[in-house]
Amino acid sequence: MTSPSANVKLVSNAMANATRRKIMAMLVEKERTNAEIEKAVGAAMLDYHLQMLQQAGLAEIKDGTVILTDFGKNFMETKSAEKPAESINDLSGTKPLQIMEIRQLLPCIADESKFRVISRLEPALGGSLKLVEPLFTRARYSERIGALIIQSGNILITLYSTGNVTMTMIKSEAEAKEILENLKNTINKAIASGVTPVPREKVKVDHAEIYEYLPKTNCQICGEQSCYTFAIKLVGRETTLDKCTPLLEAKYTTNLEHIRALLEYL
């Protein structure tokens, strides 16, 4: 028989994962088939997630349907009763966004064939902005600057809680408009559905990705043997970005912005 402390550990491990929390939230509403769960959370490791929930005694599978156990129901009820009022935060009441005019199109310092764009979406999302982070594949909300940083290839989009938007490495005004339109539509779709995106696990960043944006001169100014070593130490938090002073050169402006964005993911 499993001891009570082992049970607590199993439950805590099971609920430590965002996908499993999402499955539990779905099961609170009603029982679900495997296919329904797969549609909502994806097929990756679904069997493993369900197994973790079963081992913790939170859910069980009966006739191909996943249901909450009595323990699972009690657990979820207690959890929602414990939730402090101020932590309940969703997109309901949020007004759809509109694109205001693109205010500035400036040449990028790093690459003059590209532009840095400053624009604005209204109304400002304020505190709701962090809730839309899971809508984007590569995005991270930074509490420090109060902005959502979204990566799309070489383009870096920073949407501030004030409504201001900056974009780097943009080819043309038409491209800027298209990106803004997609950004607006993605967020408005979530607002219209009335469903707040489920928080997901952190976007993973590794040293190889950071290395791509370093100067790659191996100049050793940072005190490391190579840019690659510096990238490894940055990810391990054994050094700080300001040690690479070459990154302050104008030609590396965009690289620096990208690395800063990636470090927000750590």
Applying CB under 6 A, among 161, 218, 260, 266 the residue interacting with ligand SF4 is 218
What is the per-residue DSSP string for 7-23? HHHHHHHHHTSHHHHHH
Residue 217 near ligand SF4 by CB under 6 A: yes
- In whole angstroms, the minimum distance from the beta carbon of 177 to ligand SF4 comes to 36
- Asked if residues 227 and 217 have their Cβ atoms less than 8 Å apart, the reply is yes
- In whole angstroms, the minimum distance from the beta carbon of 255 to ligand SF4 comes to 10
- In whole angstroms, the minimum distance from the beta carbon of 176 to ligand SF4 comes to 31
**68 sits in which H/E element:** strand 65-68
Applying CB under 6 A, among 224, 232, 254, 262 the residue interacting with ligand SF4 is 224
Residue 43 near ligand SF4 by CB under 6 A: no
Contacts of ligand SF4 in 75-134 (CB under 6 A): none
Residue with smaller CB distance to ligand SF4, 102 or 222: 222
Residue 154 near ligand SF4 by CB under 6 A: no
Residue with smaller CB distance to ligand SF4, 99 or 221: 221
Contacts of ligand SF4 in 241-260 (CB under 6 A): 244, 246
Residue 230 near ligand SF4 by CB under 6 A: yes
3-state secondary structure (DSSP) of residue 145: coil
Spell out the residues 6+ positions from residue 245 whose beta carbon is closer than 8 angstroms to its own. Answer: 221, 222
Residue 197 near ligand SF4 by CB under 6 A: no
Report the residue count for the chain. 266
Q: Where are the beta strands (DSSP E) in 88-161?
A: 98-99, 104-107, 115-122, 139-142, 147-152, 155-160
Q: Given its phi and psi angles, is residue 197 left (phi above 0), alpha (psi -120 to 50 degrees) or beta?
A: beta
Structure tokens at 117: 């764009």
Task: Summarize as ranges the residues that interact with ligand SF4 (CB under 6 A).
Answer: 214-215, 217-222, 224, 227, 230, 244, 246
